[in-house]
C-alpha cells in the first residue's frame, strides 16, 4: 500500500499529508475502516485539478432537518497561528427510516472535488449490507474518485457484525494496481471486550495474511475504555494503545447514527493505520503529530485521551495527550456545536476544529 505519512523532523511544522486516510464504532455491529483524507493546508502547495465526480452528491438542503439526533454536516478546519482553512466538509443524508444512505465528501483545497459514500441495505435491516466507497478521494485528493471500493458485511441473527470483506484497489510491489481483498473478523470475548483480526492479500492470487489485531475494551455505558492496536510490518515491533479517556457531558452525534459504534471512521475507505480518524501519531512516526479526531464509538465527546507507543515487550516509548474543548449547540442541550482538538506534540498553535450542523 502507498506510504501514508511523510517523516517530519522533530520541531518542524507538519503539513497535511494528501495520503492521510483518516476511520467507526463499538456497538458490536460493524465497521468499515476507512482512511480519511485531509488536504494540505499549505498556501504554497497546490493540488492537481479535480476530475468530474464519479458519484453525485445530494444537495444538503434537499433533506428535511432532524434537530433531535441526526447530524447533517461535519466541517473540518485546520487552524494554525497564521491561518485557518476548511479542509473537508462531510454531508449526511438519510432514508425515511433515518438510516444513513449517503455521506457526501467535499474537499476544499485549491482544487475542490466531491465524492459520495453509498450505503446499501437489505429490506428493513438497520445495518448496511454493502458500502461503496470512492477510492481516490482518500488516497489522492483532487484527482477524483477513479475507483470505487466495495465492503460487504455478515451479521449474526441478532444483527451483530461478524465479518466484513472489502474489495479495494491497492498497489503491489513495483506500483502495479490490483484489486485487493481485505477481511475483518470480529470476536466478542465478553460484553465489554472485542477483538478484530484483519487480513489481506498482497498480490493477485496470494493468500490472505494477517496484518493487524485490535483489542477494544468498553465501559458499561459503551464508552471506549482502552484500545490496543498491533500493526503490520514495518512497525510490528511496536504497538499503539489509546487509554486514559475522560468524557464530557456532551452527546457524540456520530455514535447516534445507525452506522455508529466502532472505533473506525466510517467516512473513508479502509486503512490499516487509522484510529479514531487519525493516521499521524507517535506509533507511526515519532514527529509532530496532526491532532485529527473523528469518533463513531463513544456515546459522549471526550475531553482527554492518550495515544501512546509501546515496544513489543510492553515498555512505554512515547505518546501524546489529546485535549478536546467542546462548546454546546444553542439549539439543543447536550449536543456539541464545536470541538477543538490539540495534541501535546502538535506544532505549537496547530489544532483541528470540528463544526457540527443539525
39 against 330, higher pLDDT: 330
Do residues 217 and 225 touch, judged by C-beta distance below 8 A? yes
How far apart are the C-alpha atoms of 178 and 202, rounded to whole Å? 9
How far apart are the C-alpha atoms of 332 and 253, rounded to whole Å? 12
- Average pLDDT of the chain, as a whole number: 77
User: Given this model, what pLDDT does residue 147 score?
Assistant: 73
Task: Using the predicted structure, report yes or no on whether residue 237 has a pLDDT greater than 50.
Answer: yes
Average of per-residue pLDDT across 50-54: 32
67 against 342, higher pLDDT: 342
Do residues 179 and 169 touch, judged by C-beta distance below 8 A? yes
Do residues 290 and 12 touch, judged by C-beta distance below 8 A? no
pLDDT tens digits for range 239-276: 899 999 999 999 999 999 999 888 887 776 556 778 88
Task: Using the predicted structure, report yes or no on whether residue 46 has a pLDDT greater than 90.
Answer: no
Could you tell me what percent of the chain has a pLDDT over 90?
Answer: 42
Q: Quick one: pLDDT band at residue 171, thresholds 50, 70, 90?
A: confident
144 against 205, higher pLDDT: 205
260 against 53, higher pLDDT: 260
How far apart are the C-alpha atoms of 290 and 282, rounded to whole Å? 10
Task: Using the predicted structure, report yes or no on whether residue 196 has a pLDDT greater than 60.
Answer: yes
Element (H, E) at 139: helix 135-139
Cα of 273 vs its chain's centroid, Å:
10
Residues 6+ apart with CB under 8 A from 195: 186, 187, 189, 213, 214, 215, 216
SS3 135: helix
CA 100 to each of CA 72, 119, 135, 294, 353: distance values in angstroms, whole numbers, following the listed order:
10, 7, 19, 17, 24
84 against 169, higher pLDDT: 84
A 10 A CB-CB count for 199 gives 16
Residues 6+ apart with CB under 8 A from 100: 92, 93, 94, 119, 128, 257, 258, 259
How far apart are the C-alpha atoms of 272 and 269, rounded to whole Å? 10
SS3 107: strand
Domain parsing of the chain, residue ranges: 60-357
Could you tell me what percent of the chain has a pLDDT over 70?
Answer: 72
156: region left, alpha or beta (phi > 0 left; psi from -120 to 50 alpha)? beta
User: Given this model, what pLDDT does residue 263 score?
Assistant: 84
- Cell readout for 247 is 468524557
User: Given this model, what pLDDT does residue 68 score?
Assistant: 56
Sign of the C-alpha dihedral, residues 49, 5, 198, 308?
negative
- Cell readout for 265 is 471512521
Cα of 192 vs its chain's centroid, Å:
22
SS3 253: helix
How far apart are the C-alpha atoms of 202 and 246, rounded to whole Å? 39
* CATH class of the 60-357 domain in this structure: mainly beta
Do residues 182 and 199 touch, judged by C-beta distance below 8 A? yes
Which DSSP string do the residues of 298-338 spell out, in sequence order? Answer: -SEEEEEEEEEEEETT--EEEEEEEEEEEEE-TTSTT-EEE
Residues 6+ apart with CB under 8 A from 114: 53, 57, 104, 105, 106, 107
Amino acid at each position: 500500500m502507498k506510504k501514508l505519512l511523510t517523516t517530519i523532523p522533530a520541531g518542524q511544522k507538519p503539513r497535511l499529508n494528501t495520503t492521510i486516510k483518516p476511520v467507526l464504532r463499538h456497538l458490536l455491529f460493524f465497521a468499515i475502516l476507512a482512511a480519511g483524507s485531509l488536504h494540505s493546508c499549505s498556501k504554497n502547495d497546490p493540488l492537481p485539478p479535480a476530475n468530474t465526480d464519479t458519484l453525485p452528491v445530494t444537495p444538503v438542503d434537499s433533506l428535511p432537518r432532524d434537530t433531535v439526533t441526526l447530524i447533517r454536516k461535519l466541517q473540518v478546519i485546520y487552524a494554525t497561528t497564521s491561518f485557518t482553512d476548511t479542509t473537508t466538509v462531510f454531508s449526511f443524508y438519510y432514508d425515511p427510516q433515518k438510516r444513513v444512505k449517503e455521506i457526501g465528501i467535499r474537499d476544499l483545497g485549491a482544487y475542490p472535488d466531491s465524492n459520495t459514500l453509498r450505503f446499501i441495505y437489505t429490506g428493513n435491516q438497520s445495518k448496511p449490507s454493502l458500502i461503496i466507497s470512492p477510492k481516490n478521494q482518500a488516497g489522492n485528493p483532487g484527482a477524483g474518485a477513479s475507483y470505487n471500493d466495495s465492503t460487504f458485511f455478515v451479521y449474526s441473527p441478532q444483527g451483530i457484525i461478524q465479518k466484513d470483506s472489502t474489495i479495494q484497489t491497492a498497489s503491489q510491489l513495483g506500483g502495479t494496481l490490483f484489486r485487493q481483498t481485505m477481511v475483518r473478523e470480529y470476536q466478542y470475548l465478553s460484553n465489554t471486550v472485542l477483538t478484530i483480526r484483519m487480513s489481506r492479500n498482497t498480490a493477485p492470487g496470494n493468500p490472505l495474511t494477517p496484518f493487524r489485531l485490535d483489542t477494544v475494551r468498553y465501559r458499561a455505558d459503551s464508552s471506549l475504555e482502552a484500545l490496543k492496536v498491533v500493526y503490520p510490518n514495518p512497525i510490528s515491533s511496536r504497538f499503539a494503545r489509546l487509554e486514559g479517556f475522560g468524557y464530557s457531558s456532551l452527546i457524540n452525534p456520530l455514535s447516534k447514527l445507525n452506522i455508529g459504534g466502532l472505533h473506525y471512521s466510517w467516512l473513508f475507505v479502509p486503512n490499516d493505520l487509522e484510529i479514531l480518524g487519525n493516521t499521524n501519531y507517535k506509533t507511526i512516526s515519532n514527529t509532530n503529530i496532526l491532532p485529527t479526531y473523528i469518533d463513531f464509538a463513544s456515546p459522549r465527546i471526550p475531553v482527554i485521551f492518550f495515544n501512546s507507543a509501546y515496544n513489543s515487550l510492553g515498555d512505554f516509548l512515547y505518546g501524546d495527550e489529546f485535549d478536546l474543548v467542546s462548546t454546546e449547540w444553542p439549539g439543543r442541550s447536550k449536543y456539541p456545536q464545536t470541538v477543538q482538538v490539540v495534541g501535546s506534540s502538535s506544532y505549537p498553535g496547530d489544532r483541528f476544529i470540528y463544526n457540527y450542523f443539525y
